[in-house]
Amino acid sequence: MADISKRKDLIRACYAPDARSADQMIAVLGQYGISAVKRGGVKDIYRIGGDVIGEEIMVTPEDLPSARQVLQQMTGNDTPTAEPSKSPVRTVLSLGAAVLLLIVLLVIRGLF
């Protein structure tokens, strides 16, 4: 398997709910000879409140059909998750955490 992390033409094969799941998916894809990398979501910036959109599993355009087929078998779903889950509660909590962080930073700097 080649290192594809520097390629700019990678396509999202699916979303993993967390880093551990992403690592497992990448390992399984590797067993099938499919190079994949994970790309972090919003949670890499704001870790308060857990994962917001999880990790993107990125593959080359030519490996996309094979990768989705392998992930489909792995997850047991008819279609692997290609979009992040849209949990309004998580989104609101994450935005609240971001606003709280901004307020704390402003208070520390004496601007608020």
- Domain borders along the chain are 11-85
- For the whole model, what pTM was predicted? 0.60
* Cα–Cα distance for residue pair 105/55, rounded to 1 Å: 27
Q: Which CATH architecture has domain 11-85?
A: 2-Layer Sandwich (3.30)
* Cα–Cα distance for residue pair 66/70, rounded to 1 Å: 6
Q: By three-state DSSP, how is residue 31 classified?
A: helix
pLDDT, one tens digit per residue, over 56-89 is 899 999 999 999 999 988 877 655 555 555 567 7
Classify residue 49 by its DSSP letter: T
Please classify residue 82 by burial: count the beta carbons closer than 10 Å to its beta carbon, then call 0-12 exposed, 13-18 middle and 19+ buried: middle
